[in-house]
Amino acid sequence: MNIEELKDKRIAVLLSGGVDSSVVVYEFARQGLHPDCFYIKIGPEEKEEWDCNSEEDLEMATAVTRRFNCNLQVIDCHKEYWEQVTHYTMAKVKAGFTPNPDVMCNRLIKFGAFDEKMGHAYDLIATGHYAQTEWINGRKWLTTSPDPVKDQTDFLAQIYDWQLKKAIFPIGHYEKNEVREIAEREHLINAKRKDSQGICFLGNIDYNEYVRRYLGEQVGDVIELETGKKIGEHKGLWFHTIGQRKGLGLGGGPWFVIKKDVTQNILYVSHGYDPETAYKKDFPLHDFHFLTEGVTDLPEKITFKIRHTPEYHPATVEQLSDGKCLIHSAESIHGVAPGQFCVVYDEQHHKCYGSGEITL
């Protein structure tokens, strides 16, 4: 974090109550800066049923801002979240896709609705993401964190170029264990607090329960792909993802989900530990979204991710017209599902170009 870069800038810090964003506030404070801090409320209205740890989160955030002499304001983005992110998620799930609500939350809420509510008054918006930014040849790029397990560039790969210009990630150059060490050394109230798991707003609620609440159940057949034999029933295609192995409730497994037929409401599965049909090497993307202003071309040789894992897969890319492209992976990839985001990096998996949605 370059102190020169921060001079005379209006800075907003998004605090979650977790250890990462708390260390962000400490990082500013040790530079003699006391930015405005904000806790974004996005939880559901049925508080007693769905409430995650939001009260505790707010208490933690309040304690940290008091300690470092910063103002804390609660910003309610509940309506925007449920109208935009939930709407997006449910529409995709219903159509048989595998969406990522956290990706859209960064674009639509953290760097979107929040900034709008503040009248775009802040020059920089700081978060506790494990990611970095770098100016290369006069352009601001999203670059990866040194911690391959915690790197969160994949969750940021759909933000707009103007949002990237405002984004700052003060702990992005650290590994997770270093952030914990700082928090313990500085006796931060949440130094030993566990990382949140799952989708940001659901807290302790099961994802399937969340989907059931909005889409209900729709019983259909489970059919073995190779034989066309009915081997069971499902309660709704939206409870299953391509490549899924657990939680199918079928005997004589293991079974893998291979594809969904949305019009016939059929779930196709395949038997065996790792059926060949569960793998793909070539797949198309549509609506490729470039992160960096002025960059509209992908290099021929790239690396990519289709889920939040430490591994990057080497590939070549064929750029077609209208934001479409074809990924030719050097190795077979398990569980490639329509609706997932494929996040594209350079060969050294340092610079993140952006992401596109997988179409099959």
| Per-residue pLDDT at 201 | 52
Domain check: are 175 and 112 in the same one? yes
52 is catalytic: no
| Per-residue pLDDT at 48 | 45
**Of these residues, 52, 70, 200, 352, which one is catalytic?**
200
Domain boundary pick from 185, 208, 229: 185
Domain check: are 225 and 290 in the same one? no
Q: For residue 64, give the H/E element and its range.
A: helix 54-67
Given pLDDT bands bounded at 50, 70 and 90, which one contains residue 235?
very high
Range of the domain at 74: 3-128+170-185
Q: What is the pLDDT of residues 17-30, one digit of tens each?
A: 899 999 999 999 99
Q: Is residue 343 part of a domain?
A: yes
70 is catalytic: no
Is residue 45 pLDDT above 70, yes or no? no
Number of domains the chain contains: 3
Domain check: are 236 and 345 in the same one? no
Query: CA-CA distances (angstroms) from residue 115 to 14, 60, 102, 109, 122?
Result: 11, 23, 17, 8, 8
| Per-residue pLDDT at 194 | 79
Q: Which of 52, 58, 51, 53 is nearest to 75 (CA)?
A: 58
Q: For residue 101, give the H/E element and its range.
A: helix 101-105
Domain check: are 180 and 55 in the same one? yes
Least confident of 144-158, 202-216, 300-314: 202-216
Domain check: are 342 and 230 in the same one? no
**Of these residues, 105, 325, 342, 352, which one is catalytic?**
105
Q: Is residue 58 part of a domain?
A: yes
Q: What is the pLDDT of residues 179-213, one digit of tens each?
A: 999 999 999 988 888 776 555 555 556 778 888 88
Domain boundary pick from 257, 273, 289: 273
Looking at every residue in the chain, the average pLDDT score rounds to 89
Q: Is residue 305 part of a domain?
A: yes
The SS3 call for residue 350 is coil
Contact 270, 335 (CB under 8 A): no
pTM of the predicted structure, to 2 decimals: 0.87
Domain check: are 53 and 178 in the same one? yes
Given pLDDT bands bounded at 50, 70 and 90, which one contains residue 314?
very high
Pairwise CA distance, residues 344 & 300, whole Å:
11
Domain check: are 242 and 267 in the same one? yes
Q: What is the pLDDT of residues 99-122, one digit of tens each?
A: 888 899 999 999 999 999 999 999
Q: For the domain that residue 259 is a member of, what is the CATH number? A: 2.30.30.280
Pairwise CA distance, residues 293 & 165, whole Å:
9
Domain boundary pick from 255, 273, 291: 273
